[in-house]
Structure 1
Amino acid sequence: MPFSQISFAKYHYYRLALAVAIGLLTLILTLGIRIYEQTRVISQDQQRIARHTIQKLEALLQPANAVPFAPLIQPGQNCLSQQPTLQRMVSLLQTLRAIALVRDDKILCSSLIGSVSYDFNQLLPQLALGASHLQLRTSTHGADSIPTLVLWHPDGSDKDNGLLFVYNIGVLTNFLLEPQPPYAQSIVLNVLDKSLEYGKNQITPRIDMTQTPIVFTRSGIYDFSVSIYGDDASTLAWRELLTHLPLSLLISLLTAFAIYLLSGSRISLAYPISQAISHREFQVYCQPIINSADGRCVGIETLMRWKNHREEWISPDVFIPLAEQHGLIIPLTRYLIKQVVEKLALFPARSDFYISINVAAQHFNEMVIVDDIRQLWLSAEPRLSLMLELTERTHLQELTTEQISELKEMGIMLAIDDFGTGHSSLSYLKTLTPDVLKIDQAFTASIGTDAINATVTDTIITLAQRLKVKLIAEGVETLEQADYMRKRKVDALQGYYFSRPMPIDIFPSWLEHYEKDEMNAFSPVI
């Protein structure tokens, strides 16, 4: 569709701006989705690292549960006879530093140093009181202070007797708490109020760990937890922004290009229609409707024609669907009604003469059509009648009983256009109670050439007559077609045989010429 240079430039920039805006929005959304997904994946990886660390520590401690206490408390045994047994247990478990025997709240024997005598309650009060089964402490034996993890394994319900398993946790942390950058910069073991961090061979109070962990996970079996420190998942995801940028840019560019093409074929075509309504570029044409019995012109069907500002005709097959698609069909219909009202003086001022206007189903939403008829048509106090044509190819279900009743009370006739070519025709006859059925021109054109369509045409005629609904045959182009419809008592005829569509201002001269020279030649049907 051609446009002026100003309109073309305006729409070019509008389409470009729209495409850029949608492209940027797509880029932001794509990157946002990628960052969100990456954040979720990194968070899951950090949780997985914490769970895996917990599982490794639990696997380290669990073999101690299987060590029997009974063989070590047989009568007559002392540390000298018990120490070899404890040392064998240490060698079997491998990860242990030492095992100590507790009897009657006294630590009496150690696999590492032999016979000892320590008060269990004083040396390890948290274990003795049952506050925990684990304790982090620094070993007092050896030249260096070595971090150890002590596991208390009481003899069943007897809290005064059992075994203490001492793990050289400072060494074990080299693989138990090993960080996994960039998801975990530091992993810390927490037992009660003490912490041990990877790479730092010393136990520190938990209160000194001032940073907030990004992941904190407790063991479900033992009294310890694991803290992971480092950058949170969101920060790590944003650091990988550049890796997502190429794909996101490609998607946004393709989206922008698609929007630019789409707006060129759709949005830019809606603008001239709106402008044409404002500039009164649409012209009202009409086609006479002839009574089949006596040849009188009993009405007209109004039609819209568009000659744009460059004096070029635009087909209704182009602008009507576009107007419906872009929500301009109602303003276009209002424009038509206003134009007809301004030209009422051109038509016979009698109630049996009617003007037919095509109305889209969208016009019936929320009683809009009722209000428009009242304000635009009835306010002019016309002496002739108005008929609304509803095409069966649209969704006529949008009409309500209330709307139909109000229109009938206002004296408005309803017609179903293109009857027989849409869907649910019979149900519409019941719900709409139309005054007129218009036989589609495809059926009229089949007269004398297509036996099947001719049969359908006869069926429609018979149905309408039994229901006492008037019929108008569209597309009558030959005398044969006119005679065929007249013999079957079709009420009115419309088509090129009588007149092509004409500008509404020419209708009075056409009507005068027709009534003077042609109507008298309309012979009665025998």
Structure 2
Amino acid sequence: MHNAQRMVHQHQRKRIIICLVLGLVVVVATLAICFFLNKTTHRAERLTLQQQTRHALDTTLAPLMALQLPASLFTGSCPDASLKLREYVVARPSLRAVALVQNGEVGCSSLFGERHVPLNSRQPWFPSASVYIWLQQDKLLPQHDPVLAIWLPTSADGMSGSLQVVNISYLADLLWATQSDSGAKLAIDVGDTWFIHGQGLTQNLVPQPGESISTVQSSIPGISISLIGPSITRLAIRDLPSQLPLALLCSLFAVWAILITTTKRLSFIRELQTGIAGKEFVIYCQPLFNSATLKCTGVEILLRWDNPRQGPVSPETFIPIAEDVGQVASLTRYVLYETAIRTACFPEEADFHIGINVAAHHFQRGEILDDIKQYWSTQKPVQQLVMELTERDRLEDNDIQYIAAMKTLGVKLAIDDFGTGHSSLQRLEMLKPDILKIDKSFVTAIGSDAVNTPIIDLIVALGHRLHIDMIAEGIENHEQARYLREHGVSTLQGFLYGEPMPVEEFSEWLARYEQAGPSPAGE
């Protein structure tokens, strides 16, 4: 019972550690997923914002780039021309002024009227026979606002044309009216000069630490649009605190699921150990018979659980679960002891076979040897103990050494359910078992399954070659018994001859069986 309590406490500690680790992993994983989703979202938002801004800029500037003023404005008087130019400017809010240039001189302006200012004295690139766009600080305008200037030549020598001045600050205000909450700034690049919204003109666009610049080209040659602001990674990290409740909620859900799962496991361990301590497990046995004489030569010990809290529990239910939670060794110890103190129910013959199942992991560190000595040998039984190694788990190579040590204690080894698990010819030569138990699935196939029946022949031939005794399980009819007898299987076990019974009833059953006089033919 102390072992049970220790295992329960160990399981509780493991359970708490697993829950804490899992909770932390789920929080980290959820935040990591949110981080990547945030990056994707902010990247898409920034791209969308750039595209919208570029579209708005192109839509605003395209009509200005396509301006074709009537020739009469260049040849008429300035008062008449300036009136037309003002009407043109008023219809375009972002346009600050339009000037007419003839023979290299600004002759008429919508803002100042008639003028005579040489353009080449102000602009080193003049004259130009192609469209030219630039940014500058116009000192003639109030507050020296930065402007975007557009030169559209009308003469082949580039000395005449129209000059449009766009209020770039006002234009940027219109473009950035629906800016996102990411804190990004708008920058418009023309040539080697940048206009940064809210700051003005600069020759160098240098991001601050933690900022990034993303640029997209305008459809108008020579102009690009950039967004300056916190990097996508920084924005994604900035959003994580608001997503922490989601991560904690996911973590709590995962921990809850683990708690529910481990509670069932822990409850079974407690239930199992309570059953062992309360002796709720009942020792049953099923007789084994010599195939030639049908004399009862031994028994296989079986376990039944009469659980007073849940009712009878089938071995097919509790044994696999016990194996899964690492408690099958506790059941084996229980069976060893309870059988050893009841050996008086069996014939006191040295060759009377008493088979008890053992799992492969019970051999680890020679644990099975200590248990045999403590729970079986101390009772000094006369009968032959046979440990039936189940095929469900593979016996590790470094545990095979304990088989030889077990045999020095006078205990034989049987391979249970042979043909359904990990055994092979090489494996048998290493294990050196004394007995092979043919699985009942092969026995059931006799006379009805043309595929499985030859397998029995191979198993029998293998046993004869290695000089290993064989027991066939699950005999239910005389045809199966006759086939196995004819093929040299020495021992039979099944409902045809004897059903499982409480150990205490075995001696009475054996007396009735021997009195009835079994038929060697088995019919």
- Sequence identity (%): 21
Report if aligned partners of 1:302, 1:355 keep a CA contact under 8 Å in 2: no
1:237 CA drift (Å): 5.1
Aligned to 2:407: 380
- Residue among 217, 240, 257 paired with 1:219: 217
Are 2:191 and 1:192 aligned?
yes
Report if aligned partners of 2:185, 2:227 keep a CA contact under 8 Å in 1: yes
- Name the aligned partner's letter for residue 204 of structure 2: R
Provide Cα deviations, 1:435-456, integer angstroms capped at 9, x if missing partner: 3684547xx4xxxxxxxxxxxx
Q: What TM-score does the superposition give when structure 1 sets the normalisation length?
A: 0.64
Provide Cα deviations, 1:147-183, integer angstroms capped at 9, x if missing partner: 1112345679987776543211122222223473631
Report if aligned partners of 2:210, 2:234 keep a CA contact under 8 Å in 1: no
Provide Cα deviations, 1:17-50, integer angstroms capped at 9, x if missing partner: 5434433443444344335434442343233323
1:355 CA drift (Å): 4.2
1:59 CA drift (Å): 1.8
Measure the CA separation in 2 of the matches of 1:516 and 1:426: 38
Are 2:519 and 1:495 aligned?
no
Distance change in 2, residues 1:161/1:381 (3 Å): farther
Distance change in 2, residues 1:152/1:320 (3 Å): farther
- Aligned-residue CA RMSD in angstroms? 5.6
Measure the CA separation in 1 of the matches of 2:450 and 2:405: 31
SS of residue in 2 equivalent to 1:357: strand
Matches within 5 A, 1:321-360: 321-326=320-325, 329-332=359-362, 338=369, 355=386, 357-360=388-391
1:249 CA drift (Å): 3.6
- Name the aligned partner's letter for residue 138 of structure 2: S
SS of residue in 2 equivalent to 1:294: coil
1:331 CA drift (Å): 1.6
Distance change in 2, residues 1:413/1:16 (3 Å): closer
Measure the CA separation in 2 of the matches of 1:341 and 1:3: 17
> Structure 1 stretch 170-179 or stretch 78-87: which is displaced more?
78-87
Aligned to 2:517: 521
Aligned to 2:439: 416
Aligned to 2:352: none
- Name the aligned partner's letter for residue 360 of structure 2: I
Aligned to 1:174: 173
Report if aligned partners of 1:301, 1:357 keep a CA contact under 8 Å in 2: no
- Name the aligned partner's letter for residue 253 of structure 1: L
- Name the aligned partner's letter for residue 194 of structure 2: S
Matches within 5 A, 1:118-517: 118-120=118-120, 123=123, 125=125, 133-153=132-152, 164-178=163-177, 180=179, 182-184=181-183, 186-200=185-199, 202-206=200-204, 213-221=211-219, 222-236=221-235, 240=239, 243-266=242-265, 269=268, 287-298=286-297, 300-301=299-300, 303=302, 316-317=315-316, 319-326=318-325, 329-332=359-362, 338=369, 355=386, 357-363=388-394, 368=395, 372-373=399-400, 375-377=402-404, 380=407, 386-390=413-417, 396=420, 399=422, 403=426, 406=429, 413=436, 415-419=438-442, 433-435=458-460, 438=472, 440=474, 444=476, 468=487, 470=489, 474-476=493-495, 481-482=496-497, 494-496=498-500, 500-501=502-503
Distance change in 2, residues 1:381/1:92 (3 Å): same
Report if aligned partners of 2:85, 2:98 keep a CA contact under 8 Å in 1: yes
Measure the CA separation in 2 of the matches of 1:108 and 1:358: 108
1:51 CA drift (Å): 3.0
Measure the CA separation in 1 of the matches of 2:258 and 2:53: 51
Measure the CA separation in 2 of the matches of 1:59 and 1:102: 26
Distance change in 2, residues 1:184/1:291 (3 Å): same
Measure the CA separation in 2 of the matches of 1:463 and 1:68: 110
Report if aligned partners of 2:129, 2:159 keep a CA contact under 8 Å in 1: no
1:269 CA drift (Å): 4.6
Distance change in 2, residues 1:97/1:374 (3 Å): same
Distance change in 2, residues 1:82/1:37 (3 Å): same
Report if aligned partners of 1:127, 1:133 keep a CA contact under 8 Å in 2: no
Are 2:83 and 1:56 aligned?
no
Report if aligned partners of 2:471, 2:493 keep a CA contact under 8 Å in 1: no
Measure the CA separation in 2 of the matches of 1:470 and 1:362: 25
Q: What TM-score does the superposition give when structure 2 sets the normalisation length?
A: 0.65
Aligned to 2:41: 41
Report if aligned partners of 2:56, 2:175 keep a CA contact under 8 Å in 1: yes
Provide Cα deviations, 1:327-365, integer angstroms capped at 9, x if missing partner: 67432366796479867996788xxxx9471413331xx
How many pairs are equivalent? 463
Measure the CA separation in 1 of the matches of 2:397 and 2:3: 36
Report if aligned partners of 1:178, 1:198 keep a CA contact under 8 Å in 2: no
SS of residue in 1 equivalent to 2:414: strand
1:376 CA drift (Å): 1.0
Measure the CA separation in 2 of the matches of 1:462 and 1:73: 124
SS of residue in 1 equivalent to 2:439: strand
Are 2:19 and 1:19 aligned?
yes
1:217 CA drift (Å): 1.7
SS of residue in 2 equivalent to 1:136: strand
SS of residue in 1 equivalent to 2:222: coil
Measure the CA separation in 2 of the matches of 1:244 and 1:421: 61
Measure the CA separation in 2 of the matches of 1:159 and 1:195: 26
SS of residue in 2 equivalent to 1:362: coil
Report if aligned partners of 1:127, 1:134 keep a CA contact under 8 Å in 2: no
SS of residue in 2 equivalent to 1:361: coil
SS of residue in 2 equivalent to 1:206: coil
Measure the CA separation in 2 of the matches of 1:347 and 1:183: 87
1:137 CA drift (Å): 0.7
- Name the aligned partner's letter for residue 415 of structure 1: I
Report if aligned partners of 2:291, 2:485 keep a CA contact under 8 Å in 1: no
- Name the aligned partner's letter for residue 164 of structure 2: F
Report if aligned partners of 1:194, 1:206 keep a CA contact under 8 Å in 2: yes
Unaligned runs of 5+ in 2: 307-311, 328-358, 461-469
SS of residue in 2 equivalent to 1:171: helix
Measure the CA separation in 2 of the matches of 1:244 and 1:140: 51
